């Protein structure tokens, strides 16, 4: 994503004389950021996400800087006359991939989400959860610059939920922006760069609240080359970084981001040495599943 | 755009929702066209009944995708282009259908005028019929695009509107489809093959304008 997506004083109503669903929304989504949108049911979260994804145009105001975008709806219909793989290949080409690239990426994402066995199943015969996996795969296979997730975790099994969190971490680490809505307050806890609340028909930026659940974290102890400085990307991914001894750093990341952090450290030039990896259970009130 | 067109084409073909319009068109041809009739008359009929069938096909293409699936495609390809692709696939299907009908009708009809007095060259008659079919497919596309989502959203209003608009497009003086079909029928009486280029140009303009408006509307009105 070259530049940030900007919404300037954006408003939307669904029909000419209908009520305003949203008004006066200002939002900038910079490359590489993770944005969480919250709000009660029926406040216009989905409308906002559709505006961000470019599916709907604003009734007033402007949206500029549209990057390559992908969208995952909350419920994905399976009433499509394709097999899962055939649908993904077609959507991959719409996302700008060649047929071969699309076929490769589709197979890979179905496997990562635990749906490889359904590749040749007609969409009409997929369960709700499996067709939601197809919707997620559809959005991820094009490596979009902007990923918009409207309660995309709904209906996924535990494995696929965790995989989608890791995929989000990968997208942001690769410089893509991700905007998401989810009812689980522990979803990607500690990871969002910004949290917004939709209330009273407009968007409010929320300062990082002290009461937010921390979520499961991973601590990584790493050793760099003598006198080496922590790679900038690793610094960005880590929630906490402290130098415990000369050359030795203790990094804390949300569990969803541990793979991305390790990959960054191990592929740095020169590579860093991973001394230990440990999970850290969250303290305080929690509602993790 | 190619990927979107392929996706929409596959959606139409694999959904098999194209079967009813095809059957209706074939039935209408069977009723109105018999072997040995004057070629231009039969071609006029083939073109005229294609108009509502084209509108139906476009409606099928535009409304065939579940809203959530359309949202995914719109985010990836842009809502206006996604809608344009579905309209174009409907137009393509109608043109293919009309083209095939023209070939069959030209082959089985008598190359004569209505009074069986004058010979009408088959090849020219077929070319003229193709132009008329194209005019009716284009105008039917305009009718179909104008009477489905995003312009009219409830099927209860959209379907009667589609039928009424298709009828008007065929009988109203000044309509390119009316002009093209009338040219074939009067040409059959006099034994001259018409060249409906002016109606074709008008149909292209009307359909392009209508399609542009509906594409611009897609993102403004919600599903």
How far is the C-alpha of B13 from the C-alpha of B207, rounded, in Å?
23
pLDDT at residue B56, as a whole number: 97
To the nearest whole number, what is the mean pLDDT of chain A?
90
Which residue, chain included where needed, has tokens 């072997």? B35
How far is the C-alpha of B144 from the C-alpha of B211, rounded, in Å?
10
Q: Nearest-CA distance from B44 to chain A in Å?
A: 36
User: Is B116 within 8 Å of chain A by CB?
Assistant: no
User: Is residue B59 in some structural domain?
Assistant: yes
How far is the C-alpha of A194 from the C-alpha of B112, rounded, in Å?
77
Asked if the model's pLDDT at residue A1 lies above 60, the reply is no
Residue A198 CB contacts under 8 Å (≥ 6 apart), including other chains: A22, A37, A38, A39, A43, A44, A45, A48, A204
Asked if the model's pLDDT at residue B67 lies above 70, the reply is yes
Section A246-270 average pLDDT: 90
CATH second-level architecture of A217-280? 2-Layer Sandwich (3.30)
User: Is residue B223 in some structural domain?
Assistant: no
pLDDT at residue A289, as a whole number: 40
Closest CA to A192 of A168, A219, A227, A228: A168
Check B79 against A77: CB less than 8 A apart: no
pTM higher than 0.80: yes
Chain A / chain B CB contacts < 8 angstroms: 88
pLDDT at residue A287, as a whole number: 44
Helices H / strands E in chain A, number of each:
7, 13
pLDDT at residue B179, as a whole number: 96
- Plot region of A201 (φ>0 → left; ψ -120 to 50 → alpha; else → beta): left
CB B43 within 8 A of CB B184: yes
Q: ∠ CA B73-A36-B79 to the nearest 5 degrees?
A: 20
pLDDT at residue A81, as a whole number: 94
Query: What tens digit of pLDDT does each residue of B169-199 get?
Result: 999 999 999 999 999 999 999 989 999 999 9
Q: Closest chain A residue to B4 measured between Cα atoms? A: A94
> What residues make up the domain containing B51?
2-218
Query: What tens digit of pLDDT does each residue of A10-56 get?
Result: 999 988 888 999 999 999 999 999 999 999 988 999 999 999 999 99
User: Is residue B32 in some structural domain?
Assistant: yes
Section B43-60 average pLDDT: 97
Q: Closest chain A residue to B6 measured between Cα atoms? A: A90
pLDDT at residue A14, as a whole number: 85
**pLDDT class of A281 with cuts at 50, 70, 90:** confident
User: Is residue B77 in some structural domain?
Assistant: yes
How far is the C-alpha of B195 from the C-alpha of A237, rounded, in Å?
69
Check A81 against B15: CB less than 8 A apart: yes
To the nearest whole number, what is the mean pLDDT of chain B?
94
pLDDT at residue A283, as a whole number: 58
How far is the C-alpha of B119 from the C-alpha of B113, rounded, in Å?
6
pLDDT at residue B223, as a whole number: 54
Q: Nearest-CA distance from A78 to chain B in Å?
A: 9
User: Is B73 within 8 Å of chain A by CB?
Assistant: yes
| Chain A residues in contact with B75 (beta carbon < 8 A) | 53-55, 69-71, 148
| Chain A residues in contact with B77 (beta carbon < 8 A) | 94
pLDDT at residue A67, as a whole number: 94
Task: Say whether A58 sits in a helix, a strand or coil.
Answer: coil
Q: How many domains does chain B have?
A: 1
**B146, two tokens:** 């104008």
Check B72 against A81: CB less than 8 A apart: no
**pLDDT class of A284 with cuts at 50, 70, 90:** very low
Query: What tens digit of pLDDT does each residue of A141-159 get?
Result: 999 999 999 999 999 999 9
Q: Closest chain A residue to B9 measured between Cα atoms? A: A90
Name the CA dihedral angle for B60, B62, B67, B71, rounded to a multiple of 10 degrees.
150
pLDDT at residue B118, as a whole number: 87
How far is the C-alpha of B116 from the C-alpha of B118, rounded, in Å?
6
pLDDT at residue A226, as a whole number: 79
Distance, C-alpha A118 to centroid of its chain? 24
Section A169-173 average pLDDT: 93
Asked if the model's pLDDT at residue A218 lies above 60, the reply is yes
Q: Nearest-CA distance from A236 to chain B in Å?
A: 28
ipTM of the complex in this document: 0.90
Query: What tens digit of pLDDT does each residue of A103-145 get?
Result: 999 999 999 999 999 999 999 999 999 999 999 999 999 999 9
Section B128-156 average pLDDT: 94
- Best of A56, A67, A84 to substitute, by most chain B Cβ atoms within 10 angstroms, is A56
Contacts 24+ apart (CB under 8 A), B208-216: B210/B142, B210/B145, B210/B146, B211/B84, B211/B87, B211/B141, B211/B142, B211/B145, B214/B83, B214/B87, B214/B145, B214/B146, B214/B150, B214/B151, B215/B80, B215/B81, B215/B83, B215/B84, B215/B87, B216/B80
Residues of A with CB under 8 A from a CB of B: 14-15, 47, 50, 53-57, 59, 68-73, 75-77, 79-82, 86, 90-91, 93-96, 135, 138-139, 142, 144, 148
Section B66-84 average pLDDT: 95
pLDDT at residue B116, as a whole number: 75
Closest CA to A31 of A171, A237, A140: A171
**B176, two tokens:** 């390119």
Domain range list for chain A: 217-280
User: Is residue B202 in some structural domain?
Assistant: yes
Asked if the model's pLDDT at residue A196 lies above 60, the reply is yes
Asked if the model's pLDDT at residue A210 lies above 50, the reply is no
Query: What tens digit of pLDDT does each residue of B14-46 get?
Result: 999 999 999 999 999 999 999 889 999 999 999
Section A58-66 average pLDDT: 94
User: Is residue B179 in some structural domain?
Assistant: yes
Check A80 against B71: CB less than 8 A apart: no
Strand ordering across the sheet containing A69-72:
A69-72, A146-150, A177-181, A34-38, A194-199, A202-206
Check A56 against B219: CB less than 8 A apart: yes
């Amino acid at each position: 994503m070259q530049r940030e997506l900007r919404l300037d004083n954006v408003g939307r109503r669904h029909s000419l004389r209908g009520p305003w669903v949203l008004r006066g929304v200002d939002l900038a989504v910079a490359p590489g950021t993770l944005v969480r949108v919250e709000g009660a049911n029926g406040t216009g979260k989905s409308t906002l996400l559709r505006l961000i994804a470019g599916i709907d145009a604003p009734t007033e105001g402007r949206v500029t800087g549209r990057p390559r975008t992908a969208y995952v709806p909350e419920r994905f219909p399976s009433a499509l006359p394709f097999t899962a793989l055939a649908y993904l290949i077609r959507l991959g080409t719409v996302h700008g991939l060649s047929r071969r690239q699309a076929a490769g990426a589709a197979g890979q994402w179905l496997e990562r989400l635990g749906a490889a066995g359904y590749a040749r199943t007609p969409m009409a015969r997929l369960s709700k959860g499996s067709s939601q996996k197809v919707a997620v795969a559809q959005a991820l296979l094009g490596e979009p610059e902007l990923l918009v997730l409207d309660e995309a975790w709904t209906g996924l099994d535990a494995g696929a939920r965790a995989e989608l969190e890791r995929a989000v971490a990968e997208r942001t680490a690769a410089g893509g922006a991700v905007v998401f809505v989810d009812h689980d307050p522990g979803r990607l806890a500690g990871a969002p760069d910004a949290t917004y609340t939709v209330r009273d028909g407009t968007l409010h930026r929320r300062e990082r609240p002290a009461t937010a659940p921390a979520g499961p974290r991973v601590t990584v102890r790493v050793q760099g080359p003598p006198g080496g400085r922590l790679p900038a990307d690793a610094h960005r991914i880590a929630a906490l970084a402290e130098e415990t001894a000369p050359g030795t750093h203790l990094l804390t990341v949300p569990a969803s981001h541990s793979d991305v952090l390790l990959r960054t450290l191990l592929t740095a030039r020169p590579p860093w040495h991973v001394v230990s990896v440990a999970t850290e259970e969250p303290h305080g009130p929690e509602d993790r599943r | 755009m190619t990927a979107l067109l392929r996706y929409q084409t596959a959606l139409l073909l694999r959904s098999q929702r194209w079967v009813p319009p095809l059957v209706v068109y074939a039935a209408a041809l069977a009723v109105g066209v018999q072997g040995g009739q004057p070629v231009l008359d039969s071609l006029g009929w083939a073109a005229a009944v294609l108009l509502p069938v084209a509108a139906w096909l476009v409606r099928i293409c535009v409304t065939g995708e579940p809203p959530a699936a359309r949202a995914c495609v719109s985010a990836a390809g842009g809502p206006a282009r996604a809608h344009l692709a579905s309209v174009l696939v409907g137009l393509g299907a109608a043109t293919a259908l009309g083209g095939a009908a023209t070939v069959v009708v030209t082959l089985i009809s008598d190359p004569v005028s209505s009074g069986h007095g004058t010979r009408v060259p088959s090849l020219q008659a077929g070319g003229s019929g193709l132009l008329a079919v194209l005019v009716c497919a284009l105008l039917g596309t305009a009718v179909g695009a104008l009477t489905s989502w995003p312009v009219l959203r409830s099927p209860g209003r959209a379907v009667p509107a589609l039928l009424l608009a298709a009828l008007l497009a065929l009988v109203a003086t000044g309509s390119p489809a009316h002009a093209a079909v009338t040219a074939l029928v009067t040409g059959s009486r006099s034994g001259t093959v018409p060249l409906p280029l002016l109606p074709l140009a008008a149909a292209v303009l009307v359909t392009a304008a209508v399609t542009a408006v509906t594409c611009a509307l897609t993102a403004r009105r919600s599903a």
